[in-house]
Amino acid sequence: MATPMTSRPKDLFYFLFSAMFTTSMVFMDLIPLWPKAILPQVLKDNHTWYLTTFNDQLMIKFEPWFAAFLAVEALYQLPTTIWFLSAIPSENPKFPARALTYASISFLTTLTSCWAIWKDGDMTEMQKYILLGFYAPFAGIFGFMAMDMSCRIQAKMAPKAVKGKKRV
């Protein structure tokens, strides 16, 4: 029987983050990948407002590397994040390994995006700071999650000390 998430604060955070991030992916990040014919007008308007307001050059220029990152987000991160919504509450034993892979990939793609924003010459300093305020917390969360999952996996793999014998 699973331990209540209220007694597992990190897991509760990962669950709430996954629920929020799933929504964010579908209705913000992945808009450029939606077929235009089925994209609701409200999402088109929201995307246009975002681009005009924040001048996000990653979305505007849509370089091949960034398009590849969005493909990874759509084909790997989105299904994995949805899976987390059932895996975390049930304490699925596969969660730490899958979350380590997910968080590592997400950290690297988000960190790369932050670097591209910082180095972009078509944004003002203020626009860069605002966009980094959107992107960087995700990099921090993914980095923390990767370290946490690595520690969880290591703890399960570490040999147990035998009474009276020292571990090597």
Q: What is the pLDDT of residues 121-135, one digit of tens each?
A: 999 999 999 999 999
Average pLDDT value for residue range 44-57 = 96
d(CA 154, CA 149): 8
Residue 18 lies in a domain: yes
| Count of the separate structural domains present in the chain | 1
Distance of CA 52 to the CA centre of its chain: 24
Model confidence at 3, pLDDT cuts 50, 70, 90, reads confident
pLDDT of residue 2: 77
Structure tokens at 23: 């929504």
Residue 165 lies in a domain: no
Average pLDDT value for residue range 14-41 = 95
The pTM is what? 0.89
Cα-Cα end-to-end distance for the chain: 34
Residue 161 lies in a domain: no
Give the domain extent around 61: 8-156
* 4, pLDDT greater than 90: no
Closest CA to 58 of 50, 66, 48: 66
Query: Which residues are CB-neighbours of 27 under 8 A, at least 6 positions away?
Result: 43, 46
**Residue corresponding to tokens 């703890």:** 155
Query: Which residues are CB-neighbours of 97 under 8 A, at least 6 positions away?
Result: 149, 153
Residue 3 lies in a domain: no
Residue 167 lies in a domain: no
d(CA 137, CA 102): 16
pLDDT of residue 70: 97
d(CA 50, CA 32): 12
Distance of CA 145 to the CA centre of its chain: 10
Residue 98 lies in a domain: yes
Residue 162 lies in a domain: no
Residue 102 lies in a domain: yes
Average pLDDT value for residue range 68-83 = 97
**Opening angle at CA 41, ends 35 and 46, nearest 5:** 100
**Residue corresponding to tokens 């921090």:** 140
